[in-house]
Amino acid sequence: MKFIIKKTGSLIITLVIISFLSFLAFSLIPGDAAVASLGMDATEADINALREELGLNRPVHVQYADWLLSALQGDFGVSTQYHLPVSELVVKRLPATITLAVYSMVIIILVSFPAGLLGTRKPNGAMDTVMTVLSQVGMAVPQFFLGILLTFFFGIVLDWFTVGGYVGVQENPAGFFRFLVLPAVAVAVPKCATMTRYIRNAVVAQKKQDYVRTARGKGNSEKRVLLQHVLVNVMMPVVTMLAMMAADVLAGSIVVEQVFNIPGLGRLLITSISNRDYPVVQAIVVYMACAVVIMNTLADIAYQKLDPRVR
Amino acid sequence: MTLLQIRNLRIAFCSSRQADGLFLKSTEQEVVHGIDLSIGQGEIVGLVGESGSGKSVTSLSVMKLLHEEAVITADEMTFAGIPLLSQTEEEWQKLRGNRISMVFQEPMTSLNPVLTIEKQVEEGLLLHEEEKYKSNKELRRARVLEVLAEAGLKEPEELLKKYPHQLSGGMRQRVMIAIAMLCSPELLIADEPTTALDAATQEIILKLLSYYSETYGTSILFISHDLSLVARLCDRVVVMKHGRVVETGTREEIFEHPQEEYTKQLISAAKGEQLAEAGESRSGVPLLELKHAVIQYREKNFFGKETVTEAVDDVSFTLHRGEILGLVGESGSGKSSLSKAVTGLLALTSGELVLAEGIRRPQMVFQDPYGSLNPAKKIGWILEEPLKIHGGFSKIERKRLVREALKEVELDEAYAGRYVRELSGGQRQRVAIAAALIQKPELVILDEPVSALDVTVQGQILELLYRLKEEHGMSYLFVSHDMSVIRRICDRVLVLYQGKLVEEGRTEDVLEHPQHPYTRELLRRKEAE
Amino acid sequence: MKKRINYNLIIGYTLIFLVLLLALVGLFYTPYPANEMNVLEKNQAPSLSHFFGTDQFGRDIFSRVMEGASTSFLIAVCVVLVGAGIGTLAGAVTAYFGGWLDAVLMRVNDVMAAFPSVLLAICFVAVIGPGTYNLICALGIVFIPSFTRVVRSEVLVQKELDYVRNAKLMGAGNLRILVFHILPNIRPVLKTSLLVGFQNAVLSEAGMSYLGLGVTQPDPSLGRMLSEAQGYLWNAPWYALAPGLTILALTLGLGLVTSDKA
């Protein structure tokens, strides 16, 4: 309990630092929101008037406090591009990104456990070598290139789906979920490969431990040694690793949304950057960073619960 | 009747593949070269040897617990009439933990860190015993409590839900023994079961083993590097060296009338014969004086609250020129802190350290010769370094001094071109001594310099240290927990207990007529062996 | 003693060598000027005159892949140099001396590690704008924490070892201990993380350029080419394959060499 409070405390501190840094970064950009929304042709007086109105003339820390207070109430300001509240824009894009991320995590978990265990029966044996090579290829392939390859094969050669044919969850839920499978594969494959390798190495390392010798000495079969003794020890670092992967999955979805033309947070982020729509960029960055930090904290707490040694 | 019969056992390892340029290299090496071993029903056999003798490997092969790269062959290897080598993996599983079981050296790592004690103890019942245990948790628990209690664990109910890290080393080893004895095996293999434990706990574990042997007629194969333990427990002794059996015989034969030179060496090393004629010829000129030394460790936590741990509490002593002063204590007694303070690696919290005028900086030889020499550098570089730092030597002079230093510690000058990892433990310790020596110190602090070494090597290093001291007129502060080593080499001895100096005097006086109860306790454990 | 060819290493080095060769030659010579447009030869299939065909402006894809590879290589090398240089220094110094500097730097590291690296790089580029040099800066900074962490934890282990104490007793100074004693001992770990870092840098550069946040038009970059090629997947799949496979060859080669070290 004490641990959870301590972790939550440091979580809040980290979140404050993150939000402050991202606020500071975007307030340092030459050409502020006033310039951005009025355009380059606006007169100095107009800009100054708008600055006054938006409160951009106040000191940074005051602006930050102000921004943080409204952000906590879900108000991230107004998009300079769409002239809509940022939160409204973000919420509309959330389902696609969240579904994509959840899909990818599910694929990673379902694939990497069996794949990771496959080669551990005989390390450096034929099966292990095959899995090693496969995971090396998986780790090396860029997610967007994989996305393009998948589009080419399943969209163009096999014609199983319409390229760029994203449908919203409200319009056609079945189509929405079906469409996101391939993008999720593109996001998941490199992470699957990393995870497979990680699990494989962890299991092989654990199998060299003394307690495994004890377990064998009791008369356990190899299978029972793996399931009853090794896996419980491997689980803890793997859970931590999975939580860290959530960050990578989120990052991967930024790129893959671009490949498959999915209107998610990532695409909104990239378009907003090219349109210099900073309130939106700021909000998304803070959102994503928060998601990652919260995931990591949850993993820490889970670890604490799982491992009797640190309990 | 013979329970275990082994004839001409050979074990070879295929090393794991290692990168060698663009190639992968693996080597096959035989580590056990055809040994014979037999254990009778109810017999306790001691298997003795130093590290690398192949004794652990042999014992693991009896349970086929060696990793897959091991190649085991034998003319005969039978357990209760069962030919072991032709068994299938399933047949092995029925034997392991049921009819043969094993206790290992390191009880902390040998238990699964994330399973409760109950789960780990009861597993054997699920694997081997009849159906009644499989469905009945109450019955299992009753049996688990029974074996835990038998292994001398008080209040076993308390332990069931605990994890290994919550137990002391001695308790863990008892749990390991309880696990091994759960299915009443005919043969118990104990591989250095007491090495990781302190002297008092060693005692208890030995008693426990002989109790099982007497009560259940369990045969025991007891593996140890420590002859004194074997002498107390075993009916018969097998001495191994470099993968071969050197000598076999009953306890009396081995200890009263050893035939082989190696066995004699082992026995005399265990007894510890004195090198110095204690304390008569010493100068009485003080070289180092410590006055009311106090060392505290302060730790501030997150909120700035300070916790103070007192490692050394008001210790004063004088070390004379030409003297070997022993500093005895168990881990946590403050002897490491004290020795670091003397070399200046650690500052005294209060008190005074007075070195004789004009004395060069004291040097130190550490316990673990694997860690105290830079693994990334060649021996020559390591020995040359202090000369470079202090300057004043030409390159040719430096090389010459390195050669001389190597000669002093009885190593060939070719060692200058080697890396530390290519050397044995004893050779490394020689290099460490040379590195200290090359700076011509008047005072050297030896921090458990032989504890990590095999007994026969211990003897050689102690003799070397003694000879160097005599030739160069140095003085040593010799830190150790091992009374027999202290007896061999020290003129005077200080006994440190919980940071305090509890006894001081000539080695003979202290060892023969100890005054403080703690010293007596230390000696009693040693005597018992 | 048995010897077997280490296929991982041989294939890995071969792949790296091939891409490196492409990149090195691309610095001095390309069959066609990489940015030269030719309306008469738009969207051509691979042929003898254009190994990988031409793109929508009639530019020679092979030439562009060559230049793109050298850009990728250069950027990745610079990124690793910046990240590893600053990261190693920071990690070694903070771990060795400890104290408040260590505490502060570790906090900064933690915060930076909270962002997915691509997101962090995107943030930097969003603030300082796209372009080759800005990309190197952004990615370089993003890569610092991983090196700091590796070096710091290694130095923390090494500095407690007796050989460091021994060196202190000999009178070696802190700088001497760090440079001559500790650094040689963490070299194997550092080497592996350099290779991993290089692989990540190649992947990140390609990703950023693909998103249009890296190398700017009209300079060729492998990632950028892929994003352009995506529109022509139906009629010119080779356009996407050429840069994509080049990136894959490089990253796979690095992966194979690294996995052998680990």
Q: What is the pLDDT of residues A56-89, one digit of tens each?
A: 667 777 888 888 888 787 777 778 778 888 888 8
Q: In a 10 Å sphere around its CB, with 0-12 CB exposed, 13-18 middle and 19+ buried, how is residue B415 labelled?
A: buried
User: How far from B481 is each of B193, B446, B522, CA to CA, in Å?
Assistant: 20, 12, 9
pLDDT of residue A273: 85
What is the Cα–Cα distance from B349 to B298, expressed in whole angstroms? 10
Average pLDDT score over residue span A223-241? 89
∠B252-B257-B261 over CA atoms, to 5°?
125
Helix, strand and coil in chain A, % to nearest 5: 75, 0, 20
What is the Cα–Cα distance from A286 to A300, expressed in whole angstroms? 21
pLDDT at residue B278 tops 60: no
3-class DSSP state for residue C218? coil
Per-residue tokens: A304: 């604490």
Q: Tell me if chain A has a CB within 8 Å of the CB of C252.
A: yes
pLDDT at residue C159 tops 50: yes
Average pLDDT score over residue span A104-116? 93
3-class DSSP state for residue A30? coil
Q: Tell me if chain B has a CB within 8 Å of the CB of A8.
A: no
Q: Tell me if chain C has a CB within 8 Å of the CB of A29.
A: yes
Q: Which residues of C15-54 are buried (b: 16+ CB within 10 A; e: fewer)?
A: bbeebbebbeebeeebebebeeeeeebeebebeeebebbb
Using an 8 Å CB-CB cutoff, list chain B residues near A308: 113-114, 116, 163, 165
pLDDT of residue B529: 47
Average pLDDT score over residue span A8-35? 76
Question: Using an 8 Å Cβ cutoff, are A258 and C210 in contact?
Answer: yes
What does the radius of gyration of chain A's CA atoms come to, in whole angstroms?
A: 24
Beta bridge partners of B20: B23
CB contact under 8 A, B114 and A308: yes
Pair type for strands B475-480 and B443-447: parallel
Question: Nearest-CA neighbor of A240 among A160, A146, A145, A304?
Answer: A304
| pLDDT mean across residues, chain C | 85
pLDDT of residue C248: 94
Using an 8 Å CB-CB cutoff, list chain B residues near C184: 374, 376-377
Of B89, B104, B114, the CB nearest to A214: B104
Q: Phi first, then psi: what are they for B111, rounded to 5°?
A: -100, 145
pLDDT at residue A247 tops 90: no
pLDDT of residue C7: 83
Q: What is the pLDDT of residues B467-518, one digit of tens each?
A: 898 888 889 999 988 888 888 888 889 998 888 888 888 888 888 888 888 8
Regarding predicted confidence, which is higher, B24 or B103? B103
What is the Cα–Cα distance from A91 to A76, expressed in whole angstroms? 12
CA distance B366 to chain C (A): 7
Residue C260 binned pLDDT confidence (cut-offs 50, 70, 90): low
| Angle of helix A60-72 versus helix A2-28 axis, rounded to 10 | 120
User: How far from B234 is each of B21, B222, B230, B255, B268, CA to CA, in Å?
Assistant: 50, 8, 6, 11, 19
pLDDT of residue B484: 81
What is the Cα–Cα distance from B525 to B516, expressed in whole angstroms? 15
* A 104-143: CB under 8 A from B: 122, 124
Is the CA virtual torsion B501, B502, B504, B510 positive or negative? negative
CATH architecture of A86-306: Orthogonal Bundle (1.10)
| pLDDT mean across residues, chain B | 86
Residue entry with tokens 């350290």: B353
Residue entry with tokens 């696609």: A96
pLDDT of residue B518: 81
Q: pTM, whole model, 2 decimals?
A: 0.83
Average pLDDT score over residue span C214-236? 82
Q: Tell me if chain A has a CB within 8 Å of the CB of B179.
A: yes
pLDDT of residue B275: 66
pLDDT of residue A188: 94
Pair type for strands B236-241 and B23-26: unpaired
CB pairs under 8 A between A and B: 79
Residue entry with tokens 């960029």: A281
Q: What is the pLDDT of residues B75-98, one digit of tens each?
A: 999 999 899 989 998 999 999 989
pLDDT of residue B44: 94
The ipTM (two decimal places) reads 0.87
Using an 8 Å CB-CB cutoff, list chain C residues near A248: 116
Using an 8 Å CB-CB cutoff, list chain C residues near A293: 114
pLDDT at residue A132 tops 60: yes
Residue A125 binned pLDDT confidence (cut-offs 50, 70, 90): confident
Task: Give the DSSP per-residue string, B366-423.
Answer: -S-TTTSS-TTSBHHHHHHHHHHHH----HHHHHHHHHHHHHHTT--GGGGGSBGGGS
| pLDDT mean across residues, chain A | 84
Could you list the beta-strand ranges (E) of B228-305: 236-241, 244-250, 286-300
CA distance B334 to chain C (A): 18
- Peptide bond between residue B258 and the one before it cis (omega within 30 degrees of 0): no
Residue A311 binned pLDDT confidence (cut-offs 50, 70, 90): low
What is the Cα–Cα distance from B191 to C143, expressed in whole angstroms? 48
pLDDT at residue B21 tops 80: no
Secondary structure (H, E, C), B341-375: HHHCCCCCCEEEEEECCCCCCCEEECCCCCCCCCC
DSSP state of C178: I
CB contact under 8 A, A258 and C126: no
Highest mean pLDDT among A33-47, A71-85, B210-224, B342-356: B210-224
In degrees to the nearest 10, what's the CA dihedral of A55, A56, A57, A60? 110
- Which of A139-148, B116-125, B142-151, B199-208 comes out lowest in average pLDDT? B199-208
Average pLDDT score over residue span B442-471? 87
Average pLDDT score over residue span C53-68? 81
- Which of A165-174, B15-24, B216-225, B498-507 comes out lowest in average pLDDT? B15-24
Q: Which residues of B231-254 are buried (b: 16+ CB within 10 A; e: fewer)?
A: bbbbbbbbbbbebebbbbbebeeb
Q: Give the start-to-end residue ranges of the domains of chain A.
A: 2-72, 86-306
Regarding predicted confidence, which is higher, B240 or B527? B240
Residue C262 binned pLDDT confidence (cut-offs 50, 70, 90): very low
Regarding predicted confidence, which is higher, C73 or C219? C73
CB contact under 8 A, B20 and C3: yes
Per-residue tokens: A131: 């899995």
pLDDT at residue C131 tops 80: yes
What is the Cα–Cα distance from A89 to B270, expressed in whole angstroms? 81
* A 272-301: CB under 8 A from C: 273-274, 278, 281, 285, 288-289, 292-293, 296
Question: Measured in Å, how far apart are chain B's first and last C-alpha atoms?
Answer: 30
CB contact under 8 A, C165 and B366: yes
Per-residue tokens: A227: 């399931």
Contacts of C161 (CB under 8 A, 6+ apart): B371, B372
CB contact under 8 A, B22 and C9: yes
pLDDT at residue B240 tops 60: yes
Pair type for strands B18-20 and B23-26: antiparallel
Q: What is the pLDDT of residues C82-121, one digit of tens each?
A: 999 999 999 998 888 888 888 888 778 877 776 777 888 8
Average pLDDT score over residue span A40-63? 72
Residue entry with tokens 């080695």: B507
